[in-house]
Amino acid sequence: MRSALFQSLLLITAGMSSTCSPISNLMADSTTQLAVDLYQVLHCSPAEENIIHSPLGVALLLGTVQLGAKGKALNEITQALKLQGNKDGEEFSLLQTLFSVTSEKKEFTFNLANALYLQEGFIVKEQYLHSNKEFFPTAIKLLNFQDTKACTEAISTWVENKTDGKIKNIISSEEFGPLTRLILVNAIYFKGDWKQKFKPEATHEMDFTKRDGSVTKIPMMHLQLRTKFGHFSDNNVSYQVLELPYKGKEFSLVLTLPLEDVTIEEVEKLITAQLIKDWFAETQEEEVEISLPRFKIEQTVNLQETLRSLNVTEIFSGGCDLSGITESSDIHISKAIQKVCIEVNEDGSEAAASSSTHMAAIMSMSHNQFVANRPFLFILKHNPTGSIVFMGRLANPDIQNIRRRDMESL
């Protein structure tokens, strides 16, 4: 029950044993707290309705920089990641086969694009290139940032190709300036097949009450399933937690739904790494009647702003010490961008609007009902390790919600 929440990127490797070394436990603890810290920063923005971020992707980017950082820059990263700052990258030694397991599986699509772009003319140190290749799936590329149009096309095209066309236009020409020297880019796309599919003929329009209290019509999928489920109450805030497994048992989508008289904000105030670990551990197999919106969320996160809130500031400031990457002292990170996309639907089947009479066939004898007709939290979990890949919130399905006719063009 008290096991680590996200068994870290260090453990998302092929053939890992269940026995964790002190190093891997350290990394697991660091990514656990990082995911919660990032979410708490993002959900405080009043402008954001739907939220999605990848703590895994952020840890990859910070780890890539850490290999070449020194002094204050190194200290801030190791504090954010809760690491010890070993200069030889020992904390990341198990990343050699990162995501190799995902490339071998056919039950889901998991695309990762991670890159460090440096201004042409700078010479990247051989030791840095070697260490990066050993520990991270990060591409190191040189660009002429003065040619803003060419840079925009090169970065966006590379990300689009790495994500099989799913994530486009990750950066715009406005992101570049005369002093741009180094840009970090991270993009992750996920689409899985459910272990038990939602029947497309059961999908029909239902009301969804948004965060501001207004109501909208959305396509709601329906399924009866025996799966992990639980009722929770903390500080008089009550909510349900449901786990939906994907085919192949590699990933699950964990959903947290406030009761009807509880707001999503009340649940968000409770979130800690330990609480989410308890959700994972304390849900039990039960028969549940599930109503879940079909949705797609895609979000670009300005990691400069987000990481500054976590006291990672030096790497974005002139004069920072990134001499492990290149000899030049005239270098700092000009931009750090993450774009994440997740799709949730019946499973690629054609969905047609249908009358409410289909509900009688779906909703039978189970007394447990999970009706996500109001804002809820979601976590994409890697089951073999317990690690969190994505964490987010659906609060307004009218924003970035994707209809079936739009999915067919993807």
Q: What is the pLDDT of residue 56?
A: 85
Rounded to 5 degrees, φ, ψ at 278 are -65, -35
Whole-number Å distance between alpha carbons of 321 and 331: 8
Whole-number Å distance between alpha carbons of 297 and 397: 9
Would you kindly state where each structural domain of the chain is located, as residue ranges?
A: 8-192+299-342, 200-296+344-407
226: β partners: 287
Q: What is the pLDDT of residue 98?
A: 41
CA dihedral 73, 76, 78, 81 (to 10 degrees): -130
| Owner of token pair 């008289």 | 261
Q: What is the pLDDT of residue 359?
A: 40
53: β partners: 391
pLDDT in tens, 42-70: 988 776 789 999 988 898 899 899 999 99
Q: What is the pLDDT of residue 365?
A: 52
Quick one: fold of 200-296+344-407? Alpha-1-antitrypsin; domain 1 (2.30.39)
111: β partners: 189
Whole-number Å distance between alpha carbons of 249 and 90: 30
| Residues 296, 239 contacting (CB under 8 angstroms) | no
| Owner of token pair 């800690």 | 272
Q: What is the pLDDT of residue 106?
A: 66
pLDDT in tens, 169-192: 999 998 888 889 999 999 999 888
Q: What is the DSSP string of 48-65?
A: -SSEEE-HHHHHHHHHHH
393: β partners: 51, 377
Quick one: tokens of 377?
């939290």
Q: What is the pLDDT of residue 382?
A: 80
| Residues 369, 288 contacting (CB under 8 angstroms) | yes
Quick one: tokens of 75?
């200290």
Half-sphere exposure of 237 (CA within 13 A, CB side): 15
Q: What is the pLDDT of residue 91?
A: 56
Half-sphere exposure of 227 (CA within 13 A, CB side): 23
At 80, the amino acid letter reads A
Q: What is the pLDDT of residue 392?
A: 94
Q: What is the pLDDT of residue 210?
A: 94
Which positions of the chain have pLDDT values less than 70?
1-31, 47, 83-106, 348-366, 385, 400-410
For the domain made up of 8-192+299-342, the CATH class stated in words is: alpha beta
Cβ contacts of residue 209 below 8 Å, gap of 6+?
A: 215, 373, 374
pLDDT in tens, 361-401: 444 455 799 999 999 999 998 877 677 889 999 999 987 54
- The DSSP element (H or E) to which 334 belongs, if any, is strand 333-344
| Residues 26, 404 contacting (CB under 8 angstroms) | no
